[in-house]
Structure 1
Amino acid sequence: MTLAFAKPRDVTLHYHLRAGAPGARPVVFLNSLGTDFRIWEGVVDRLADMPVLMMDKRGHGLSDAGETSIATLARDAADLMDHLGLSDALICGVSVGGMIAQALVAARPDLVAGLVLCNTGAKIGDAEGWNTRIENVQTTGLDAMAEAILERWFSPTFHADKPADLAGYRNMLARTTTAGYTATCAAIRDADLSESTRKIAVPTLCIGGTEDPTTTPELVAALADLIPGATLTMIDDVGHLPCIEAPEVVADEIAALLKALE
């Protein structure tokens, strides 16, 4: 995979763009807190023929850090899509990536034909919880908190069956900078997208995991209820990152929505 970078505004963004068949609808992937775009590779490998954009949001992976809010992260995605000439895309986001997707369609509906919102909500958590997490990260560092975070990321089955994978994703998390991680925590804390999300007018699929204690099945179902016409898929025995635990299911759901958008 070739490294690619762009600086459409104030920060340098790391991304990967895979070419697709002429005229095929692009799919844009937006990743979660404490991860980089590689979490989508199992999904992307199962999708053929369409252009695919994966990007590291600011403060994560190989992208620069900088002033961060959900609106700013959505603007980064829009800027990168404009830079690459992508529009009328299916946007697929997990966790905070799903919040960024909601903000993107509100700000730039010309870029978005449909949404896949994984393990996310219009609002996630409360100020007290996010402030506590920010303080803990700043005090002890992500490495000390990694085990507790991984308990929320993955199901008990994944923990039992894939210790090597678990260690790898722990490394990904722990190597996220404190500044990038806490800035994104604050962005999530400060965002309530309920008013704009209830006005979403593109076909939307919400996906959740039955073993996700962070964006619970109830939270994802509430998001689906908020968006007119949205559908809901709940994946059994999967935690917060179905793109890693069940990439074949996520890929099939994306392919089905792409077909419906034709």
Structure 2
Amino acid sequence: MQALTRPRGVLHIRAQGPEDAPALILANSLGTDLRLWDGLMPHLGRYRVIRYDKQGHGLSGLWDGTTLADHTADAAAIAEWVGRPVTLIGCSIGGLIGQRLAATRPDLVRALVLSNSAARMGTPKGWRDRIAAVRAGGTAVIADAVMERWFAPAFRRTPELALWQAMLARTPADGYAAACQALAGADQTDATAALRLPVMVVAGGQDGASPPDQVRATADLIPGARFHLIPEAGHLPCVETPDALAAAILPFLEDHA
């Protein structure tokens, strides 16, 4: 385990791969920790890969985390720790973090891969309702509904579903609610439309959290962005279809990372 000290707390990070290799930062979705990327890691052996737990998730502390700017500052600190420009691969809210980092600190970002993410996700009311439910009963009360949105039917019939449901259910309510509040206030539409770096956008054909048309619309905002649909995947292709995700993004990484 590795710790990155921030002004008011500590982030759990994990760095793997050759120290002098091109650097990737992997940013997680809501309600998951850095194990989200385990299935993709065997494909990234030639890169320096830095994974981390967002504030209030996994082993990381919670001190801010209620705005997208809070989470972007953490990602910037990790990139500065790496010491050279990175490619950020972000899933869901992780993709929003990547969009804001590229817009506000272009000196830190070579390229972006946005998996199942958009310039704006959900509605403020929907996130407020989610926060109220979690504050009242913890993350376990929403776990069944979230599994329906995250995963395609075929994956929901596997034993592995129980592990992901447990990860979500054990996410601290305060950390989860803080990230929901950040999502409620996050709208990167104008800033993302102004991005001029290499971007690849990946959608899942069976994603109930970020429908593919919404994800494609974000790709359409960015001049030159590549778009790829994985028809059999839900919201977390790095879990359900890591081989298909790797096949889609590795050529992009070869060109731009």
- Indicate the residue corresponding to 1:11 in structure 2: 9
Q: Is contact 1:56–1:62 with CA below 8 Å preserved after alignment? A: yes
Please name the residue that 1:55 is paired with: 52
Q: Flag structure 2 segments of 5+ consecutive residues without an equivalent.
A: none
Q: Report 1:137-156 matches (<5 A).
A: 137-156=134-153
Give 1:252 shift: 2.3
Quick one: which of 176, 192, 198 aligns to 2:193?
198
- RMSD (Å) for aligned C-alpha atoms: 1.2
Say which is worse superposed, 91-100 or 142-151, in terms of deviation: 142-151
Q: Distance in 2 between matches of 1:62 and 1:185?
A: 18
Runs of 4+ residues deviating >3 angstroms: none
User: Structure 1 stretches of 5 or more lacking a match?
Assistant: none
Superposition deviation, residue 254 in structure 1? 2.7
Question: Does residue 1:214 correspond to 2:212, yes or no?
Answer: no
Aligned to 1:256: 251
Q: What is the number of equivalent residue pairs in this alignment? A: 256
Superimposed CA distance per residue, residues 131-186 of structure 1 (whole angstroms, 9 cap, x where no aligned partner): 111111111221122111111110001012x1x21111111101100100000000
> In structure 2, which of residues 184, 208, 225 is the aligned counterpart of residue 189 of structure 1?
184
Instruction: Report the counterpart of residue 237 of structure 1 in structure 2.
Output: 232
Aligned ranges 1:49-128 → 2 under 5 Å: 49-68=46-65, 69-85=67-83, 87-128=84-125
1:26 pairs with 9, 20, 23, which one? 23
Using the alignment, how far apart are the partners of 1:50 and 1:141 within structure 2? 37
CA contact (8 A) 2:17 2:45 kept: no
Structure 1 window deviating more from structure 2 (137-146 vs 240-249): it is 137-146
Q: Distance in 2 between matches of 1:70 and 1:57?
A: 11
* Counterparts of 1:8 and 1:175, CA distance in 2: 24
Shift in CA distance, 231/136, structure 1 to aligned 2, threshold 3 Å: same
Match of 1:169 in 2: 164
Distance in 2 separating the partners of 1:75 and 1:252: 31
Q: Secondary structure at the match of 1:83?
A: helix
Per-residue Cα deviation, 1:98-121 (whole angstroms, up to 9, x for no partner): 000001111111111111001111
Q: Which moved more, 1:72-81 or 1:31-40?
A: 72-81
Q: Secondary structure at the match of 1:17?
A: strand
How much does 1:21 deviate? 6.3
Distance 1:149 1:34 in 2: 10
Deviations 1:37-68 (CA, angstroms, capped at 9, x unpaired): 10101111111211000000101000001212
Normalising by structure 2, report the TM-score: 0.96
Q: Which residue identity lines up with residue 140 of structure 1 in the other structure?
A: G
Tell me the SS of whatever aligns to 1:45. Answer: helix
Q: Does 1:134 find its partner at 2:123?
A: no
Distance 2:98 2:219 in 1: 14
Equivalent of 1:42, from 27, 35, 39?
A: 39
Q: Distance in 2 between matches of 1:9 and 1:253?
A: 37
